[in-house]
Amino acid sequence: MILAGDVGATKTLLELGELQHGRWMTVFGARYLAADYPDFFSVLQAFFSEWTAQQRSSPKITRACLGVAGPVFDNRVQMTNLPWLVDGDAIAARFGIAHVKVVNDFAAAAKGIELLQPADLVTLQSGEPGAAAPRLVIGPGTGLGLAYMVWAGDRYLIVAGESGSTGFAPATSEQLDLWSELYLRQGRVVVEAVVSGPGLVRIYEFLCRRENKQPAIAGALSAGGDAAAITHAALERGDPLCLRALDMFISCFGAIAGDHALSIMARGGVYIAGGIAPKILPRLINGGFCTAFNSKGVHSAALGKIPVFVVTNEKLGLFGAALFANA
């Protein structure tokens, strides 16, 4: 049996299962909020306790892989946006699992594309896909994750990075004003300060101050304000300022995704992953993302030929972790 995990700064998904005929077959799974646990060992202990309570036996795990939000060194990750250390060798020793692999969460997401079905994808831009062409997997959550996929003879080689910590480049005068405000507050402005869940809250706060308006979202200006509340007010209630914030977020995200797609000429497709994109899908389809994505001067026409998809299956990272574990 395989243990597959998708470990993010907000939540962790864990599943036990098997790969059968190119499909991931789940035997048992659970979701955990990071805020409820002091470390990852505690999450695993809760997971195994729940399994034992249901099955009255310990799971016989032969292999495990965990996709974790952060850079991987020596089979372990010190998470970027959470004070957890996820150490594959330590997990193997503590829980008696022979092989435990730790990979970047977007490396797992990229690998998981192999197991997606057509129903798991929503097309934002059809483009003109190229066979064996480079691919890009990118998506905002608590931070911003990314992986490049480059064809290497008979398979895709996956290169994950920490794009969320690269510098944010404003593309409009309003975005420049946002950058200036953030710079005066915190110095260097990184991409995920804007394109992430907390980034959406920062954009909303910025627009409230710019328009000299009180926030309509309760608690949005407090520490750790709720991006989901802003999204709900925008999409369900049509709140004008929340809609502006969401559209500005989408424009910034589209520009950043386009920059990375241009870097490798990702004619194999851009796959938007993570937890935020499916929740704002109606506004992504509205066109602002692709407009910003394609706005690349002399290369705008080339960007228009790159297919862009939103992955709606939240198990993408689990799929990839299972494939890595089975390799």
Q: Which pLDDT score, from 0 to 100, does residue 273 have? A: 97
Write the burial class of residue 264 (CB in 10 Å: 0-12 exposed, 13-18 middle, 19+ buried).
middle
Query: Residue 28 is inside which H or E element, if any?
Result: strand 23-33
Amino acid at 134: P
Residue 121 in domain: no
Count of domains for the chain: 2
Residue 118 in domain: no
Residues 265 and 162 in one domain: yes
Residues 301 and 319 in one domain: no
Phi, psi for residue 83 in degrees, rounded to 5: -80, 50
For residue 74, give its domain range: 2-111+315-326
The tens place of each residue's pLDDT in the chain, 327 residues long, gives: 999 999 999 999 999 999 999 899 999 999 999 999 999 999 999 999 999 988 877 778 999 999 999 999 999 999 989 999 999 999 999 999 999 999 999 999 999 999 999 999 999 999 999 999 999 999 999 999 999 999 998 999 999 999 899 999 999 999 999 999 999 999 999 999 999 999 999 999 999 998 887 666 654 444 345 899 999 999 999 999 999 999 999 999 999 999 999 999 999 999 999 999 999 999 999 989 999 999 999 999 999 999 999 999 999 999 999 999 998
Residue 98 in domain: yes
Q: Which pLDDT score, from 0 to 100, does residue 216 have? A: 62
Q: Which pLDDT score, from 0 to 100, does residue 212 have? A: 80
Residue 7 in domain: yes
Contact (Cβ atoms closer than 8 angstroms) between residue 320 and residue 108? yes
Residues 133 and 246 in one domain: yes
Write the burial class of residue 53 (CB in 10 Å: 0-12 exposed, 13-18 middle, 19+ buried).
exposed
Residue 122 in domain: no
Residues 141 and 21 in one domain: no
Tell me how far apart the 2 most distant CA atoms of the chain are, in Å. Answer: 63
Dihedral sign for Cα atoms in the order 44, 46, 50, 56: positive
- For the entire predicted model, the pTM comes to 0.94
DSSP label of 179: H
Q: Which pLDDT score, from 0 to 100, does residue 60 have? A: 87
Q: Which pLDDT score, from 0 to 100, does residue 37 have? A: 97
Residues 143 and 257 in one domain: yes
Write the burial class of residue 216 (CB in 10 Å: 0-12 exposed, 13-18 middle, 19+ buried).
middle
CA 42 to chain centre: 23
Residues 218 and 140 in one domain: yes
Report the C-alpha gap between 202 and 225 in whole angstroms: 9
Residues 275 and 166 in one domain: yes
